[in-house]
């Protein structure tokens, strides 16, 4: 296993649509292990393959360390994940089948360090995907889990959360995005900037 560098805002791979995984090769298994390790090393709640420079439709999620009770008090926006839902998920070829409701919460992204903004997303979703054994799964997710899934699935389609902000919030982060694109950024984890790609 290896911690992979995270591709930052401005790199082409983040704006490219990832391709479906056809079968479970050794490459894909290694990618999954490396993504989980990279996600943990950078304290992320989720990671999409584009963020480590790979254009396979693979997403890893781990919200098990998030104290949702505490967060609910400090951020009145948080909607908690229902008990019984998994907190760790690996999704291959995820597809959103249904979306219901809407809520706003502040998001961040490992590829856009130190930038945050409120994004409206569905409250409840039904997703289908293949698990790490390549078995087909269907899951109804809500709250934070649904939000992280939607954020990561957007990455697979080349969509970043900053594109979903309202016009005022977009204007407010313009300089920060320019700095990241130019490589003027510091992170605690290894990165690839637009210039280095």
- Residue, CB closest to Zn ion: 109
Alpha carbon distance 182, 171 (integer Å):
18
Least distance to Zn ion, CB of residue 111, Å: 5
The smaller minimum CB distance to Zn ion, of residues 108 and 183, is found at 108
Least distance to Zn ion, CB of residue 130, Å: 21
Least distance to Zn ion, CB of residue 136, Å: 25
Least distance to Zn ion, CB of residue 121, Å: 13
The smaller minimum CB distance to Zn ion, of residues 59 and 109, is found at 109
Contact by Cβ (8 Å): 87, 145? yes
The smaller minimum CB distance to Zn ion, of residues 32 and 149, is found at 149
Question: Hey, is 59 helix, strand or coil?
Answer: strand
152 has catalytic annotation = yes
Residues at the contact surface with Zn ion, assessed by CB under 5 A: 109
User: How far apart are the two ends of the chain, measured CA to CA in Å?
Assistant: 22
Q: β-strand 6-7 against 191-192: which pairing, if any?
A: parallel
Alpha carbon distance 139, 95 (integer Å):
11
The smaller minimum CB distance to Zn ion, of residues 116 and 134, is found at 116
Who contacts 113 (Cβ-Cβ below 8 Å, separation ≥6)?
8, 180, 185, 186, 187
Let me know if 126 is exposed, middle or buried by CB neighbors in 10 A (0-12, 13-18, 19+): middle
The active-site residue out of 123, 152, 163, 195 is 152
Q: What is the DSSP letter of 42?
A: T
Catalogue the active-site residues: 152
């Amino acid at each position: 296993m290896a911690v992979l560098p995270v591709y930052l805002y401005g790199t082409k791979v983040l704006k490219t649509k990832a391709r479906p995984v056809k079968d479970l090769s050794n490459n894909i298994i290694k990618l999954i292990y490396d993504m989980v390790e990279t996600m943990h090393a950078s304290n992320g709640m989720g990671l999409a393959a584009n963020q480590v420079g790979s254009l396979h439709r693979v997403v890893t999620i781990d919200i098990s360390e998030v104290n949702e009770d505490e967060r609910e008090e400090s951020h009145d926006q948080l909607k908690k994940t229902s008990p019984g839902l998994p907190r760790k998920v690996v999704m291959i070829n995820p597809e959103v089948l249904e979306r219901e409701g809407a809520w706003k919460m502040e998001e961040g992204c490992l590829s856009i360090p130190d930038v945050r903004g409120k994004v409206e997303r569905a409250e409840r979703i039904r997703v289908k995907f293949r698990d790490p054994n390549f078995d087909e799964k269907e899951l109804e997710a809500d709250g934070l889990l649904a939000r992280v899934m939607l954020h990561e699935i957007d990455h697979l389609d080349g969509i970043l959360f900053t594109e979903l902000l309202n016009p005022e919030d977009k204007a407010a982060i313009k300089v920060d995005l320019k700095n990241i694109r130019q490589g003027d950024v510091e992170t605690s984890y290894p990165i690839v900037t637009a210039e280095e790609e």
